[in-house]
Amino acid sequence: MSPPHRLSPSLRSWLAQFPKALREVALVRLVASLGAGGVLYLTPIVFHQEAFSAQAVTQGLALAALAGTVGRFLSGALLDRGLACSVPVLLAAVAALLGDVRLLGTSAFGGYVQGQLLLGIAAGLYWPAIELAVPLGCHMGPRPIPSARGYALARSADAAGIAAGALLGALLAAGGRLRGIYLVDIACLVAVVVLLLRQPLPRPTPPSGDPADQTPWRQWLPPLLPVLAISLLATSLPALMQSALPLDLVRGGLERAAMPESLGALLVGLQLGLLVLIQWPVGQALAKRPVAHGLGLSLACFAAGTVLLAFSALSSLGLWLVLLAQLPLALGAAAFLPIATEAVIELSPREHQGLAMALFSQCFALSALAAPLLAGLALDAQRHAGGLWIVMTLLCLAALNLVKRLRPRPAAQETPGGSA
């Protein structure tokens, strides 16, 4: 991203509507996502080339998710004690860099697992801090904005970075240099460290220490449970897009032919490209409506996308169904990502938002732990993922009942830590 004085006047004017602190958060997320895009979505293909079984590939992804659970709770607890959001992100950058170096130079399962564990720890440290930095940044400066709009911008930055990273990875795959994704990530991690040293992320308000100011967990946790349950299911879809879909494409379905690895990478990149185009308008539109609307739309779109993926295995023209499925899957992700995060902020007290964000982020970790393992078993047993996609369709439809239990958007005014 170019410095502000090199941006076009229209883009400068558009960015000026956001507080400076929020723009800095979005820039860090953009650069971090650029490096992570290829690593997250194309690592399964890298080690498929090394003749790893589907279960071996997905076991590494699951272990990474397990390693991230500790980092998430540690990050959330420290944030609730007033630790600056920059510290967990800097630690995450160091862990991810070590993981990239390990994955770049190994063809053995042991080295693959070590690299994945480091990447999992990095993700655990990163997400609670970078998510909490958004509402904090929204309320810094003379012109604060609602945190829902801030999350729309932040998720747009994530989508743009990940899509660009995955596309770059696809180009590297086409050129026979797929492991170059780890070099790209290393360069981006170094850039993130430089950005954070130049402009640290916001610091949460330290707790007062007065027990009277502390909301008991029995009061704030139960309202969060429906959001967390929906998130656990919805976050399994990105995990499956990273693990099962690339392997499903290169292996083929019952009637759908196996695709070249470069084409499989480009199809994954297509969904990410669609997400870039629609993330901001969808997030901006849903920010004006109750969070239940956005989460309901997300689940319906995920159901539509997965049923198309399931039927793609049954046709020799299944490639077209895979292409068609990318639109509802991208729309589901665009609706879920900013709105679910906003729902967590709305329903948690300010003094516990770090821990609440850690619980929300934990949904990504748990789904990334279970979904790849189940996907690996399904792929090795059936040689295709048709049954897996049907199960995901049914679960998404069933989860629509949880949306009805969500509270409406609170009418209380915004506070510096997020919605009151």
Predicted model pTM: 0.79
- Residue 209's pLDDT is 55
- Residue 130's pLDDT is 94
Angle CA 296–301–306, to nearest 5: 130
Structure tokens at 125: 């440290």
- The predicted-structure confidence for 44-75, as pLDDT tens digits, reads as follows 888 878 878 877 887 887 788 888 888 888 89
- The predicted-structure confidence for 234-253, as pLDDT tens digits, reads as follows 999 877 877 778 777 777 66
Mean pLDDT calculated for residue range 108-120:
93
Under 8 Å CB-to-CB from 265, ≥6 apart: which residues? 41, 42, 45, 166, 169, 170, 173, 246
- Residue 419's pLDDT is 32
The pLDDT > 90 percentage for the chain reads 35
- Residue 414's pLDDT is 42
Instruction: Give the bridge partners for 392, in sequence order.
Output: none
Mean pLDDT calculated for residue range 153-177:
88
pLDDT of 411 over the 50 cut: no
Cα 93 to Cα 53: distance, rounded to the nearest angstrom: 29
Mean pLDDT calculated for residue range 76-102:
92
Cα 361 to Cα 264: distance, rounded to the nearest angstrom: 28
Cα 110 to Cα 278: distance, rounded to the nearest angstrom: 40
- Residue 388's pLDDT is 85
pLDDT classification of 111: cutoffs 50, 70, 90: very high
